[in-house]
Structure 1
Amino acid sequence: MVMTCLDSIWDELRPGETVIIEYSSLLFPAVVFYQALMWASKRNYKIIIDDVLDSLYLYKVHLQLAGLSTDIFDSIEIIKEGGVLPVGRVASHLELKQYGVRKVEYERAYKLIMSRTEEKQIVNLVVGAEKLFLISNVRENINTLNLILSYMGDKRKITLYFINKDLLEVSGAYLLPLLEELATTVIRIDKRNERYVVSVAKSINSKLEGVGVPLNQESIGKTF
């Protein structure tokens, strides 16, 4: 089934979901990220961004070069993990340490933001998570997957993970299947006949099964 805009997909996501958005290294995921950001803003949802190893800076530069405004970042709280290039309102800047320490520090930073959040619904966008898997060992990777799983079902929020599947497959052949298995919705960004298409490969919501949204030139900026 073909939908006309990405908002039609975002609107069907359910509170508590963990959503994986897959893309390859030869595509620009920033535009889909941007449209998810604007959708959450229009719905007056609280937005939190997890920025791993300066991935958000890369997204911001791509959007600016595409001619899109990035002013919205200035009002968003960011949990930054590693990296040296701040974007947005960095609420916490965590160093990349061993998994156990990183987990405790992340949970502390997340709870701090949640404690001062008045909005009933939160959208948490995560960029660069695949880089954590790349620099970790197998045990740490399994622990990270379990941490992702532990946040699933929290009906105050919807979490969107933007995942470079090429990099993830280099990190470990088992990682992408495990992520897809635990995700409640799997969305893929592809390019067909020189046109970007966003499609739903799996969803807990039967209305989204098999849905595809072609992105036209006007909606994604002249660079893309």
Structure 2
Amino acid sequence: MRRAFEAVTRIMDSLKMGETVLLIYDESLIPEFSFLFFVEYASQKGVPVIVDDILDSLYVIKQHLEFIGIDTKFFENITVIKVGGTNIVGNVRQHIPLEGAYREKYRLAVREVYKEKSNAINLVLGIENLFYLSTKPSDVMDVISELISFLGEKSRIAVYIINKNITEKAPVNPLPFFERIASTVIYTESHPRKAVLRIGKCSSLELVGKSLVIELDDLLQYWGR
């Protein structure tokens, strides 16, 4: 497990502020354990975590972790910008209804939060839901444009954890656009007792194409199960 964590740490250490990371997964517990990885990494590095919680995605992760016996008390200290949804998890600084000019309100909320916090790891959860709910291709492209506008923002490293199955059912599949925009793309493959992570793209070229295997039993042992 320690070697797996060190491998993920090496990827994160190679990134520069302003980069965008795309973590693509199928249905599995990959987003739950990835979330734990990133929070643990931020804690070890002494940097803040800011979560963009879209349509209760953080609540879902929290509940899944509790079901498998992970202590989630630390969620209370995580700064959250919430878009849509009704279940409050973490220290929610802004709760933006998913209606009207919500993207402009989201931009303003982000600016306010980052006035107080810098060099943060920004975990974006559930953005695939916005694509799925879009009623026309132009809505999808508007969200893509929003992502581009944050690329290079020096106050954060953004990590988008995205469900491949949902994005492929959107009016326009946004994954090819995401893969082009992101500076680092990690593809995951789930198996009954393990996950394989492959680095498809990375600003540190020596990491491109490399893979690592993470065993479920090691994860459970590491987090006290």
Give TM-score, length-normalised by structure 2: 0.90
Select 1:9's aligned residue among 8, 11, 22: 11
Counterpart in 2 of 1:147? Answer: 146
Q: RMSD over aligned Cα, in angstroms?
A: 2.0
Residue 97 of structure 1, CA deviation:
1.4
SS in 2 for 1:4: helix
Q: What one-letter code is carried by the residue in structure 1 that aligns with 2:179? A: E
1:21-40 mapped onto 2 (5 Å cutoff): 21-40=23-42
Q: Is the 8 A contact 1:77 1:91 kept in 2?
A: yes
Indicate yes or no: 2:133 matched with 1:131.
no
- 1:21-60 deviation per Cα after TM superposition (whole angstroms, max 9, x unaligned): 0001245421012111110121111211000111101111
SS in 1 for 2:71: coil
Residue 217 of structure 1, CA deviation:
3.0
Q: What one-letter code is carried by the residue in structure 2 that aligns with 1:168? A: T
Residue 193 of structure 1, CA deviation:
7.0
- 1:54-86 deviation per Cα after TM superposition (whole angstroms, max 9, x unaligned): 110111111122222212211111011111111
Q: Is the 8 A contact 1:67 1:221 kept in 2?
A: no
Structure 2: state its 5+ residue gaps: none
1:21-100 mapped onto 2 (5 Å cutoff): 21-98=23-100
d(CA) in 1 for partners of 2:44 and 2:171? 37
Q: What one-letter code is carried by the residue in structure 2 that aligns with 1:128? A: G
Residue 18 of structure 1, CA deviation:
0.8
Name the stretch that deviates more: 161-170 or 213-222.
213-222
d(CA) in 2 for partners of 1:218 and 1:14? 32
d(CA) in 2 for partners of 1:173 and 1:106? 22
Structure showing greater relative contact order (alpha-carbon pairs closer than 8 Å, 6 or more residues apart): 1
Name the stretch that deviates more: 189-198 or 144-153.
189-198
Counterpart in 2 of 1:159? Answer: 158
Structure 1: state its 5+ residue gaps: none
Aligned length, in residue pairs:
218
d(CA) in 1 for partners of 2:29 and 2:169? 17
d(CA) in 1 for partners of 2:114 and 2:27? 33
Give TM-score, length-normalised by structure 1: 0.90
The change in CA–CA distance for 1:199 and 1:79 in structure 2 (over 3 A counts) is: same
Q: What one-letter code is carried by the residue in structure 2 that aligns with 1:110? A: V
Residue 173 of structure 1, CA deviation:
4.8
Q: Is the 8 A contact 2:167 2:173 kept in 1?
A: no
d(CA) in 1 for partners of 2:197 and 2:35? 12
Percentage identity across aligned positions? 31
